[in-house]
Structure 1
Amino acid sequence: MKSHNEMSVTQLDEQLRQTPFHPRQQALNVRDDWTVWNGFKFANSYYDAEYEYFCIRNSCATYDICPMQKYYISGKDAEAMLNRMVTRDVAKLNVDRVTYCCWCTDEGRMIDDGAIFRLGPDSFMLTCGSPCVAWFKKSAFGFSDVTITDMSDNIAALSFQGPTSCEVLKKMGLDGIETLKPFGIMHFPFNGDDSKTLMVSRTGFTGDLGYELWIAPELALDLWDTLYSAGEDYNIHPYGEVATNMARLEAGFIMPGLEFNEALKTVHFQYDHTPFQLSLGWLVDFKKPHFNGRKALLKEKQQGPEYTLIKLDIEGNKSAEEAYLYNNKKCDTHIGYITSTMWSPIVKANIALAMIETKYLKGDIWAEIYYTKELRHHHIVMKCTVVKKPFWTPERAKITPPLKY
C-alpha cells in the first residue's frame, strides 16, 4: 500500500468528499483551485480571488458552507445543557434568532466558536467549523432530556453575501425577506412547494449585508439554479476561501488556525487561547449559572489576560505576514506577533490582527517586516496604530429593510 506522500493528486482527490453544490462549482472553477475543509473538496478560489472579493463588496456572491458542522440539540434540557456548555446566556436567545458563542475547557481555554440558532422553545441548531460532537455529548452528561444529532450531512448550506443579496432573494420570490433583521431567521416554502422548506438567516462571515440559506441536500442544485437565475442581472458569482479571509479580516472576525488554536487540538501548554485573550470577553456572561471554564475565566478577568488580540493599521503597504512586533523601532523587546494581515482594497490601508502582550498595549508598537522585491530580500520596521473598531462596518449591513439596488 502506498503511503500518503506517495499517493498521486488524483488519488487524493478521489478520497475527498464533494458537497451537494459541487457539480455547479466544479464547472465555474476555471482555475481548478481547491483546498480541503473537514474532508470536503473545497474551493480556494474560482477565477481570481480579488475579483471574488469585489463581488462580495459590490454586488453579491455565494460561498459553500456545507462542510460546516451542524448539530441539532433538542429536548426539555437543551437550553440548560447549552447554557452549561457555552459562555453566553442562551436563555436570552429568542425563537428564530441566532447568536455568536464560544465554549471552553474547565481551564477556560477556547475549544471553538460558532453560532446557535434557536428554532423553537426546546430545539436549537449549533454550527461550528470543526467536528465537536464528542464534546457536546460529554457536555450533555447528567441532563436527562436532551438529544444531540449530527446533521452535518443532512443540511446543505450556502452563504450569500453582498449589498445586492436582498434584492436577489426578493426576485427569487422570498416575500418579506427585506423585513428580516440581522441575526434573524425566516422559513419559506421552496419554489412555492409547502413540503420543501428553505430556512434563511441574516448571518455571514463577511461583515457585509448577507444571508445564509439552509436546505435539504437533494434540493441543493435546484436552490443554486434558482438563486443564480434570480441573480443573473446582479453579477452573482461564487467566492472561495481566499476572498472569505479577506472580507472577514476587514470585519475584524477571528479565524481558527490563524487567530486561535482549538484547545482540544494543541500539544504545547497554553498554545491555545481564552476568550479574553481574543477580545471576546463580551461573550462571557458571569451573571448566569455555572458554565465550563467559569472559575478560570473569572480569575483571568480579575487579573487581566497575558495576551490580547488587537487590530492594527500598519504604515506602508508591505505585507506583515508572520511579522514580529516590538516596542520600538530598534526592535529591542519582542512583544507580540501578527496573526492575519492584508492590504485592504476598501479601507486603503495595511491592516492586521495581532496578538500582543497586554502590558505593552499602551506603548508604541512596531512591526518588523521582511519582503522580497525582484528576488532581493528586504527588511523594514514600520509603525503600527491600534484600531478600536472593525476596519470596515458598512451601514447597509445593519439597516432593515436593506437599501434597494
Structure 2
Amino acid sequence: MNALTTSAAGLRRAARNHIRTPRLETPFHERLAALSEVNDWYSWAGYKAPHSLFDGELEYFAIRSTAALFDISPMVKYRITGPDAERYLNRLTLRDVRKLAVGRVQYTAWCDDHGHVLDDGTLFRLGEADFRLCCQERHLPWLLDSAFGFSVDIREETEEIAGLALQGPTSYAVLRDAGFAGVEALKPFAVVSFQHEGGEVTISRTGFTGDLGYELFVPRAKALSLWDRLWSAGELHAIRAIGYGALNQARIEAGFIVANTDFVTAEGALRADRERMPDEIGLDWLVDPDKPNFNGRKAILDARRNQTLKYILVGLEIEGNIPAEHAIVYHRKKHEAGIVTAGIWSPTTKRNIAIASLERPYGSKFTEDLWVEIYAMRELQYQKLMKRAKIVPRPFVKLARRTATPPGLK
C-alpha cells in the first residue's frame, strides 16, 4: 500500500469517525434519559436534547396547566466582564445597555455593519461590569473581533453553566416549596441569586412560553442536585419534564421567533436576499436610535428613511385546523407573497395560527385576500388545500399570570 492509498484510507476513517462522533450530553441528561419513554432525541448546538419525553400533547399541557421543566443547557452562554463591558455591549446590541440595571434582563439582538441580524437573545446584568449573553448561535470569534479597543474579557461558559426553564402556572409554587424564599417578589425580567448546595443558583423571571415562568442557571457540578430539588418540590404540583416539541408550540402561541427558523442569521445566510434587518422580523421595537453608535445603525435608519425594507413578519390566523408550517402564502390565490415559518393548531386559543415572512408590499400595503397552500395527507395521498388567512396581532396568547407580581399561589 503506497503513501497515497494510506492517506486516502485515513481520510475515509476520519470521515466515518466524524459521523460516529456522539452528541454531547447536558448536565441533566441522566435525569432526562431516565424519564424518556419514546427515545425521541435531536441535536441542539451539538448536544443531545429531547424532542419529546413521553407525549408531546401532554407535555404542552404541562406548560399551560401545571409546571414544565425544560433543559436549556445547550443554549450558548457568554460571560462578558471588565471596565468597558457596558460600553462594549452598547456598541454591539440594538438596545441601550446603559438603561439595564443590575439584576435585570434585557431581550435584545445584534447586527452586522449592514444592519442584518446576526442573532437575538437575552442579556443578563449580574453586576456593574458583569454580564451574561445567551443566544442560539455561537459567535465567539465575532465577539472577540468586535472587542478591539475595549477593556473587556469574553469567554464562553456554555459547558460549565447548566440551565433549566421552569414554566407554567404552578412554577412559582414549585420554587417556593423548593425553599427559594422571596422568589415571589421577582418581577418579569428580574434576576436574583440564591444559595444551593454550597454554591449559587441564579433565577430569572424569564422564559420562552409566554406563561408564568423562570430560568435557573447553576454550575455544572450542582446541576443534578438542583434538578432533584425542583422535582421533589414539584411532585405535588404535577411537574413534568418536556421536550422541544411542546416548547415550540408554546413559543408560537406567544409569538416568539427562533433564529434560523423564522429568520436566517446574517452569518448563516448563503444568499444575500435571505438576510433580514430587525424591522423585517418584528424587532423594530428593539432599535434605540437615540443611543450612541451601534453596529448597523446607519443601515437600519437609512432603510427606514428610504423605505427600502423588503420583508415583514406577521401573525396569521388560517381557516381550518390543519397546521400550515412551511406553506406558501399567496395574494388572491395567484401572486406568491411569502412563506409560513412556523404554524400550529393552538390548543389554548382553538385557532390555526402561524408566523409568516412576507415580501413587501404584501403584509404592509396588501393585507387582504391572503391564502396559504397546504398539502395534507389524506389516505396515503397529499391533497392540496387553499385556505384563507388573515393577518392578526402577536402574541396569539396573552396570559395575565405571566406578569402578575406576586404570582398566583397554586
Alignment TM-score, normalising by the size of structure 1: 0.95
Q: 1:84 aligns with which of 64, 68, 91?
A: 91
Q: How far, CA to CA, are the matches of 2:315 and 2:131 in structure 1?
A: 33
Name the counterpart of 2:361.
359
Name the counterpart of 2:7.
none
Q: Secondary structure in 1 aligned to 2:267?
A: helix
* 2:144 aligned with 1:141: no
Name the counterpart of 2:350.
348
Q: Residues 339-360 of structure 1: CA distance to partner in whole angstroms, max 9, x if unpaired?
A: 1001011110100000112212
Q: Is the 8 A contact 1:319 1:371 kept in 2?
A: no
Q: Residues 315, 5 of structure 1: CA spacing in aligned structure 2 closer, same or farther, 3 A cutoff?
A: farther
Name the counterpart of 1:384.
389
Q: How far, CA to CA, are the matches of 2:394 and 2:354 in structure 1?
A: 13
Name the counterpart of 2:37.
30
Q: How far, CA to CA, are the matches of 2:112 and 2:200 in structure 1?
A: 36
Identical positions, percent = 44
Q: Secondary structure in 2 aligned to 1:264?
A: coil
**What is the identity, as a one-letter code, of the residue corresponding to 2:222?**
L
1:233-244 mapped onto 2 (5 Å cutoff)? 233-244=236-247
Q: Is the 8 A contact 1:163 1:208 kept in 2?
A: yes
Give the superposition deviation at 1:7: 7.0
* 2:273 aligned with 1:266: no
Q: For structure 2, list consecutive stretches of 5 or more residues without a partner in the other structure.
A: 1-9
Q: How far, CA to CA, are the matches of 2:165 and 2:409 in structure 1?
A: 20
Q: How far, CA to CA, are the matches of 1:267 and 1:378 in structure 2?
A: 32
Give the superposition deviation at 1:184: 0.3
Q: How far, CA to CA, are the matches of 2:16 and 2:275 in structure 1?
A: 33
Q: 1:403 aligns with which of 382, 398, 408?
A: 408
1:48-127 mapped onto 2 (5 Å cutoff)? 48-127=55-134
Q: Secondary structure in 2 aligned to 1:197?
A: strand
**What is the identity, as a one-letter code, of the residue corresponding to 1:166?**
Y
Q: Is the 8 A contact 2:81 2:154 kept in 1?
A: yes
Give the superposition deviation at 1:363: 3.0
Name the counterpart of 2:292.
289
Q: Is the 8 A contact 2:26 2:74 kept in 1?
A: yes
Name the counterpart of 2:254.
251
Q: How far, CA to CA, are the matches of 1:157 and 1:242 in structure 2?
A: 18
**What is the identity, as a one-letter code, of the residue corresponding to 1:318?**
I
**What is the identity, as a one-letter code, of the residue corresponding to 1:189?**
Q
Give the superposition deviation at 1:124: 0.7
**What is the identity, as a one-letter code, of the residue corresponding to 1:149?**
R
**What is the identity, as a one-letter code, of the residue corresponding to 2:322?**
K
Give the superposition deviation at 1:6: 6.0
Q: Secondary structure in 2 aligned to 1:213?
A: strand
Q: Is the 8 A contact 2:368 2:390 kept in 1?
A: no
**What is the identity, as a one-letter code, of the residue corresponding to 1:383?**
R
Q: How far, CA to CA, are the matches of 2:348 and 2:77 in structure 1?
A: 33
Q: 1:187 aligns with which of 193, 212, 219?
A: 193
* 2:54 aligned with 1:47: yes
1:312-327 mapped onto 2 (5 Å cutoff)? 312-327=316-331
Q: How far, CA to CA, are the matches of 2:310 and 2:129 in structure 1?
A: 39
Q: How far, CA to CA, are the matches of 2:334 and 2:249 in structure 1?
A: 32
* 2:330 aligned with 1:309: no
Alignment TM-score, normalising by the size of structure 2: 0.94
Give the superposition deviation at 1:109: 0.8
RMSD: 1.5
**What is the identity, as a one-letter code, of the residue corresponding to 1:123?**
D
